[in-house]
Chain A
């Protein structure tokens, strides 16, 4: 694992698809778009179903054959669903946990990746290999002792169990981020560091003023992965959060689902409201995301 080959240096800014050597013939093109379209229908259908249900009165949802256009548009589902339970509060709670986790993960993983890729110290590769070995560990193995530890520390029902591990390089699953960042850092020419050291710069300065600014795509990938991971986490909040005012969106939605089994319109509206922010985030960042994943060459 120590001799991971550095991926090619990123050449161009935008990542263009590299396959289409000759332009495929016309019928090939038509076939391609037909396949894309055919694939996107089952992908999108559940969303359409969700949105139409969120905007319907309950009675209209149960009509058979199903109707696709709400009549009338029941916009009040959103308002009512989001006020029956304090979803605003859950939103803030989730956001706080996600932001703290992203910051912690990015800072400590980047620092570690810098150490493992651009600083030479004895035992470095052994330590890195050891860390990597933890990736395969099922979370179930650490689940119970970790829970007991937080309980002993009196940290149940606080955000500490959900955020503190991220300040230790994401702990557990975070090793993947270190690996990804390290791969990327290895592609930056080492001459830059040497020049800076000759000028008397410290390793921190090299990290902060040279390596970090050149690593934006990789940082964005880690940010998005961590943000989505925290936003979507269910088991963590389920274990550690007890009082309703501390709930995250996932917990709120789960309790909403068991409480209002009959009010489907509300449930669908609440689900849509939980999904929307993350889709918006991804929409704006997807270009960097795909680009970053490609450039960091996680294929190895």
Chain B
């Protein structure tokens, strides 16, 4: 039996193992190597050591794209977390027509990225878009939204909030796992809804909040579609997101070596940020079972 299990075990894990080697480890190593070369497709790569990385330090657009992306992440992630948590709390109550409510709030997440972008181009249109029309009707001044340097990123942050569905579903799953007896305990002690939220829901949800925080940060660091289809990095590089800049370097300007260095730098940034979040998490993430990590 033991040998049979080993044979089947390896056989059944094989596609995943091969996939990991071919589509993760292999490309990772290759891109580390490419990042040390000067290379345009068609020519053969020539080794230049760390030149790409030192060139990045002097590349204004690199710094611009990094600050823009950080700005977007700092704006979008907390907003999405708060909105999705609030909606998940509402949907965790016994409400009538639960399926319909859930579908409504999940709907925006289903919209294909490009249809989403096209729709929002139209919503942001300063002359006849939805937002300015509503503002004008309310007697408020309109905005240039994605068409002005100062409002472009905030506009995209607003847009990102619309797609909170996946985060919400995970919060919902987390809320369903909060043990009922804890609520009962608070109620017996005479605590109301606020105490229940503050002393039970929130602490019990910290692992879920942390998970969504990490996934959110890693995800927003890699935004691409909006910049590519909506703004082309403009106006005046205001929405030059990191991955869009990388894409342009690689596939428009064909600087594969430099683009690979950008990719590895992003990887290292994400690693450091994730590490810092994990270290900080010890202070506020609460795990029910000690030692279960």
The 9 closest A-B pairs by CB, nearest first: A168-B19, A171-B23, A121-B9, A145-B30, A169-B16, A145-B27, A142-B27, A119-B9, A115-B12
Q: With contacts A44-B107, A271-B118 known, is A286 near B99, CB below 8 A? A: yes
Contact B180–A144 (Cβ < 8 Å): no
Q: Which residues of A contact B144 (CB under 8 A)?
A: none
11 contacting pairs across A/B (C-beta < 8 A): A39-B87, A119-B8, A119-B9, A134-B20, A139-B222, A141-B31, A170-B19, A275-B111, A282-B107, A286-B99, A286-B106
Q: Confirm or deny: A116 has a beta carbon within 8 angstroms of a beta carbon on chain B.
A: yes
Contact A144–B250 (Cβ < 8 Å): yes
* Whole-angstrom distance between the Cβ of A52 and the nearest chain B Cβ: 10
Q: Confirm or deny: A36 has a beta carbon within 8 angstroms of a beta carbon on chain B.
A: yes
Contact B114–A254 (Cβ < 8 Å): yes
Contact B207–A299 (Cβ < 8 Å): yes
Q: With contacts A121-B5, A138-B218, A143-B250 known, is A235 near B225, CB below 8 A? A: yes
Contact A136–B207 (Cβ < 8 Å): no
Q: Confirm or deny: A234 has a beta carbon within 8 angstroms of a beta carbon on chain B.
A: yes
The answer for the CA separation of A296 and B173 in the assembled complex, in Å, is 9
* Whole-angstrom distance between the Cβ of B79 and the nearest chain A Cβ: 13
In the complex, per-residue mask of B118-134: 1 if CB is within 8 Å of any chain A CB, else 0: 11111100011010010
A24-43: which residues lie under 8 A (CB-CB) from chain B? 24, 28, 32-33, 35-36, 39-40, 42-43
Q: Which residues of A contact B26 (CB under 8 A)?
A: 145, 149
The answer for the CA separation of A88 and B293 in the assembled complex, in Å, is 50
Q: Which residues of A contact B22 (CB under 8 A)?
A: 168, 171
The answer for the CA separation of A271 and B118 in the assembled complex, in Å, is 8
Q: Confirm or deny: A49 has a beta carbon within 8 angstroms of a beta carbon on chain B.
A: yes
Contact A140–B112 (Cβ < 8 Å): no
What is the number of contacts between chain A and chain B, taking CB atoms within 8 Å? Answer: 318
Interface size on A, residues (CB 8 A): 115
Contact B170–A298 (Cβ < 8 Å): yes
Contact B9–A120 (Cβ < 8 Å): yes
B90-128: which residues lie under 8 A (CB-CB) from chain A? 90-95, 98-99, 101-108, 110-115, 118-123, 127-128
Contact B110–A138 (Cβ < 8 Å): no
The answer for the CA separation of A120 and B208 in the assembled complex, in Å, is 30
Q: Confirm or deny: B18 has a beta carbon within 8 angstroms of a beta carbon on chain A.
A: yes
Q: Which residues of A contact B141 (CB under 8 A)?
A: none
- Interface stretch (choices B47-55, B56-64, B146-154, B266-274): B266-274
Contact B8–A40 (Cβ < 8 Å): no
Contact A122–B104 (Cβ < 8 Å): no
Q: Confirm or deny: A131 has a beta carbon within 8 angstroms of a beta carbon on chain B.
A: yes
Contact B263–A140 (Cβ < 8 Å): yes
Known: A40-B101, A282-B103. 15 other contacts (CB 8 A): A19-B183, A23-B94, A40-B105, A43-B104, A141-B267, A144-B31, A145-B34, A168-B20, A253-B112, A267-B118, A274-B115, A275-B112, A278-B111, A290-B102, A296-B173
Q: With contacts A112-B12, A299-B211 known, is A146 near B27, CB below 8 A? A: yes
The answer for the CA separation of A298 and B102 in the assembled complex, in Å, is 18
